[in-house]
Structure 1
């Protein structure tokens, strides 16, 4: 016995274990509202997120803030579509991280000298 259902473009399959088949034979007819099961929602969210191709993955708030912070500090234009694409954010961060770190080291050293 197996379960199969479609969730948008995702088709889910599950084959019941022998123990689950036996337990099913002991049940009465019951309707379960899965919206009331937080664990199911968590599982569905994780399933959807892992099914999104990397090039379409939305960036996290931290990635967006990091891109904006680096662009501001280095006086760079923000990359196109950075708020929609994690890949764009990660590429920008990777490209400018070392340059930004050097700038911040110099800034922190100067700030430290001024505070003495």
Structure 2
């Protein structure tokens, strides 16, 4: 760990209440990357939710598919590593769900375009 990170954790350590101490000291707690990586990955979920209002013709199926695959793969991984990382599992499930929903929207849109073309 870097000196800066150790200094920040050492300073914060004094202010952690006794009731939160088990979470603070956990193998996947705030003192580790196992906590911070999933915390920042929620930004992808927020971006995916923001894309729900995006026009469907601007969605990228390959991009959504890669995000969905990543979410599924990392969801599985988060349950087989030690320590099990349930926050990583949760964020990746949401990444997969939002991406799969976007794929569904895009495919439905493409099907509607094909139906319009075939009727003309």
More helix per residue: 2
Instruction: For CA contacts below 8 A with separation 6 or more, give which structure has more relative contact order.
Output: 2
TM-score range, shorter chain: under 0.3
Richer in strand (by share): 1
**TM-score, L = length of structure 1:** 0.27
